[in-house]
Amino acid sequence: MVELKTDKSIDAMYEAGQVVADALKAVRKAAAVGVSLLELDEVAREVLRGAGAGSPFLGYRPSFAPTPFPAVICASVNDAIVHGVPDGYRLRDGDLVSVDFGAELGGWAGDSAISFIVGTPRADDVRLVETAERALEAGIGAAVVGNRIGDIAHAIGTVCRAAGYGILDGFGGHGIGRRMHEDPPVPNEGRPGRGMPLRHGMVLAIEPMLIGGGTDGFRTAPDGWTLRTVDGSRAAHAEHTVAITTAGPRVLTAR
């Protein structure tokens, strides 16, 4: 069941989204050669504490997970696509890092992800990150009243496939509101004109997840959470929480 949010509720979700934006900005600023993933997680926790917000990630345990998630960020490095568990790994020059983060404030959730390169960038990594961001922009551009979920999926998939990248199989975006994951699912590839119609008040987390090697498959790391590329190629992830409105898409997790 899809809950249509009121304009007042969307405004409240914007406040949660701004906590997310602040935390990701702080994490990106703190990420440098020698900094550990656990230290980045602490940076995000400090933003939550300062805002009086909670974490929808900490303790989260979907059906596939062997244990509750132990952190407030997902930190996925190089061949890790998504769901990376922060640990003592210290960032190295040239690492490609994706950070996914959510916040709960006033009973509403926000969810966003960024990818960036630490230190000296490689041209292939720059192109991968830029394509993930363009795919996200294309998906947001299709998130308008009168379109359908398939239009968002088609917009994202077109950008990814044209660049020669793979799309993480079986994972995509989702509705969001009182809970981090709600209906409807938002695939990263699909046929235009198909799927649920987009209506004013729908709020979606749109999140392309790209695999640099061009394949769609993944392997699950021993921690039961981290999804890695099967060929060792690098990956990138970009995400925003977006409200569908008659005035156009409203990005709730962007400053």
What is the rounded distance in angstroms from the CA atom of residue 231 to the CA atom of residue 217? 9
pLDDT tens sequence for the chain (255 residues): 899 999 999 999 999 999 999 999 999 999 999 999 999 999 999 999 999 999 999 999 998 899 999 999 999 999 999 999 999 999 999 999 999 999 999 999 999 999 999 999 999 999 999 999 999 999 999 999 999 999 999 999 999 999 999 999 999 999 999 999 999 999 999 999 999 999 999 999 999 999 999 999 999 999 999 999 999 999 999 999 999 999 999 999 998
What pLDDT is attached to residue 64?
87
AA identity, residue 212: G
Structure tokens belonging to residue 156: 């994202």
How many angstroms separate the Cα of 15 from the Cα of each of 52, 64, 108, 222? 12, 31, 9, 36
Neighbour order of strands in the sheet with 203-206: 182-186, 173-175, 203-206, 240-243, 250-251
Q: Which residues of 218-251 are buried (b: 16+ CB within 10 A; e: fewer)?
A: beeeeeebbbbbeeebbbbbbbbbbbbbeeebbb
The answer to whether the beta carbons of residues 213 and 233 sit under 8 Å apart is: yes
AA identity, residue 224: G
> Does the global pTM surpass 0.75?
yes
